[in-house]
Amino acid sequence: MTVVTTRKLKFEDVDIATVTNKIVAMSSTEKFDIVVTPNIDHLSRLTGEQNSDLLHIYQNAELALCDSKIVQKLMLFKGKKITNVIPGSTLTEHLFRSGVLDKKRVCIIGVDDEDVEQLIKDFPAISISHINPSMGFINKPSEVENIVQEVCDLNPDFVFLAVGSPRQEVLADKIKQKFHRGVGLCIGASILFLVGKEKRAPQLFQTLHLEWLYRAFQRPKTLVKRYAKNFLALPAIYSEL
pLDDT at 11: 96
Instruction: Give a yes or no: residue 241 inside a domain.
Output: no
Residues of the chain with pLDDT under 70: 1, 200-201, 204-210, 212-218, 220-221, 223-224
d(CA 81, CA 83) in angstroms, rounded, equals: 6
pLDDT at 233: 82
Range of the domain at 185: 2-200
Cis preceding-peptide flag for 166 (omega within 30 of 0): yes
Instruction: Give a yes or no: residue 219 inside a domain.
Output: no
Instruction: Give a yes or no: residue 215 inside a domain.
Output: no
Instruction: List the alpha helices (DSSP H) in the chain.
Output: 16-26, 40-44, 52-59, 69-77, 88-97, 113-122, 141-154, 167-178, 190-194, 203-207, 211-218, 220-239
Half-sphere exposure of 198 (CA within 13 A, CB side): 17
Instruction: Give a yes or no: residue 33 inside a domain.
Output: yes
Instruction: Give a yes or no: residue 29 inside a domain.
Output: yes
DSSP 177-193: HH--SSEEEE-TTHHHH
Contact between residue 74 and residue 97 where contact means Cβ atoms under 8 Å apart: no
Instruction: Summarize pLDDT for 209-229 with one digit per residue, the tens.
Output: 667 666 656 676 676 677 778
Instruction: Give a yes or no: residue 164 inside a domain.
Output: yes
Instruction: Summarize pLDDT for 35-83 with one digit per residue, the tens.
Output: 999 999 999 999 887 789 999 999 999 999 999 999 999 999 999 999 9
Instruction: Give a yes or no: residue 18 inside a domain.
Output: yes
* Number of independent structural domains in the chain: 1
d(CA 63, CA 60) in angstroms, rounded, equals: 9
Assessment of whether the complete model's pTM goes beyond 0.95: no
Instruction: Give a yes or no: residue 222 inside a domain.
Output: no
